[in-house]
Every structure is written in structure tokens, then in C-alpha cells.
Amino acid sequence: MKFVAQILFFILMQIIIKTVAVNIKGRIKFTYNSANVLTKSSNKIKFWRNNTTNNKLLNAQREEKRISFNGYADILIFNCTQKNFFALTWDDGPWRKLTEGILDLLKLKNATATFFIVANRLLWEPYRQVAQRALKEGHQIASHSWNHENLNQKVTQNRNCTELKHQVLDSDKLFRAKLGVSPKFFRPPYGKIKKEVAQTLKLWDYYIALWNLNTFDYKWKELDKLYIVEAYNQELKNEDPSYKKLDSYISLQHDISRNVEATIERYSYIIDLIREKGYKLVTMGECVGKEDDMYFKKKINYKKKKCIF
């Protein structure tokens, strides 16, 4: 009798496991039901729309951003050098679930992207493994400083060259030690970089990468990651002649979210939309025609680096 009960229990467990597995599989099918998602958050969407569909305002904001780097915008990278190139970039990772989900998705879609990594995350084995996987799968690893310090505050205010070296060069040492490559592309945390710091990094042979499509995904709490879809729709589906579309894009998003599944669904929709509109997905290196130059070939001579402030 006990034996029969054990068999019945085993069969029951199998049924439960299968049901759960089918359910999960169904849910991560990467289908994006726009109507469904949009209805769920109609109020929030309305808020987002009201804040973004003013094309003149958007044009002006873009212009304002360039002006804020007045006099040195030419040493910063905002766009690709080739028409119809589209560089997807993710900042602040790697994390386990979402970054791995993105890597799964990119593999499924046969696409490449760039991850601007906060270097000290590589000190943790699980995150290091994710970064190693990204590199192995053909994505570009780029630097996003040692610990996400605002360079304008910590470095510039006190003319602190030692701090800049820590944020940039110590990161590179760690990248090389843990991943075997030192990234040549650097993105300043918060997109904040003053002229003297930018000029110093240029002198040190870095490419300073910013973006021209901000998804503002960091502004919204978990479920509001929906807005990222709207940011892309606004940009790529915008037929208003008053809106200045760009020839190429570098988009900014963050691989941080607890709502992994929904976020991946949205990224899936976004990748399809980008391609549907005729863009080619590229790494940052390809974006600026420097794919052979994505990483430093030689070890960096730490002592030789001087700040020009």
C-alpha cells in the first residue's frame, strides 16, 4: 500500500512539474502583447505620452544636451559613424537574472550589444561569470567606472587625479585580471563629465561614449519599465515632420530590474522594432568603426598617466 502511495505521489509530482514548466515556457515565449500591456497601465502611459510627444521640446532637449558639453562635444560619442547603425547599450550591470535574460534574448535574436560595466562588480564571482558569458558571446564590454562615482563631484571639485585614476585605470586593471581585456570605451556615470576630465581621458586613449536615445528607464519604478517601449515608439515610429530623426542611434538603458520577464518581453519588442525600421544592431566598436579597437592591446602604463587638471 505504501509503495502504491509512493508511485501515486511520484506521478502527481511529475504532473505538477510539467504544468509549471509549460506555464513558465509559455510566459517567456517573448511575445509582446502591446494592447494588453498598454491597457494595464493606461494612466501611466498617458503621463508618459504627455511628457514625450512634444516633438519640439524633445528636439530642444537634445540640443540642450549637446550645448551642456560646449567646446568639447566633439571628443564625446553621441552617435554612430555609419547611417542606420543602432547600438543598444546597457549600463550598471552585470546582474544575474536580467543581464542573463538579455543575453538569452540577444542570442535568440542573433544580435550584439554593449554592456557598460561597473568594474567592482567583477569582484563577485556570479557577476563575473555573466560578464564572461557576454564577452564570449560576442558582446562588447565597456567601462562604467569603478563604483559609479559622479566624476564631476569626486574628481573635478578637488582636482583629484588619484581618484580619476582609481575610477578609470584601476577598473581597467580589474577588467584585464578578471576578463582578460581592458575596455577602451568608457561611459561616465550619470553621463557627467567635465571638459578637463574628458580631455584627460582622451589623452589616455579612451573613447568616451554617451548616447542620443535616452530611454529614461532609470526614472521609473519596476512595472513602469513599460515606458521604455514608449521611448522607442516615440523615436522610431514618429512620423511628425517637426521631429528631427537621427541617422544612427546609441540607446541608453540599464540592466537593473526585478521585473525581469516583462522587461525582457519589452526588449524583444524593441529589437524587432529597430530591425523593422531598417537599423542594424551593432556593438559600440562597430558603431564608431573601431571594432578592432574595442580593448587596449597592451597593458596600461599606470605611472605614465597624467591628468591635465
Q: By the criterion CB under 5 A, which residues form the site for Zn ion? A: 91-92, 189
Q: How far is the CB of 119 from Zn ion (least distance, A)?
A: 12
Residue with cell 577588467: 175
Maximum separation of any 2 CA atoms in the chain, in Å:
85
Nearer to Zn ion, 44 or 192 (CB): 192
Nearer to Zn ion, 91 or 235 (CB): 91
Q: How far is the CB of 218 from Zn ion (least distance, A)?
A: 8
Q: How far is the CB of 189 from Zn ion (least distance, A)?
A: 5
Q: How far is the CB of 88 from Zn ion (least distance, A)?
A: 15
CB closest to Zn ion, residue no: 91
CB atoms under 10 Å from CB of 308, counted, come to 12
SS (H, E, C) 74-114: HHEECCCCCCCEEEEEEECCCCCHHHHHHHHHHHHHCCCCE
Nearer to Zn ion, 236 or 252 (CB): 252
Query: Nearest to residue 279, comparing CAs of 242, 230, 245, 231?
Result: 245
Nearer to Zn ion, 45 or 209 (CB): 209
Nearer to Zn ion, 148 or 277 (CB): 148
Query: Nearest to residue 94, comparing CAs of 118, 63, 111?
Result: 118
Q: How far is the CB of 109 from Zn ion (least distance, A)?
A: 24
- In the numeric block, which cell numbers belong to residue 107? 542570442
As to burial, measured by CB atoms within 10 angstroms (0-12 exposed, 13-18 middle, 19+ buried), residue 238 is middle
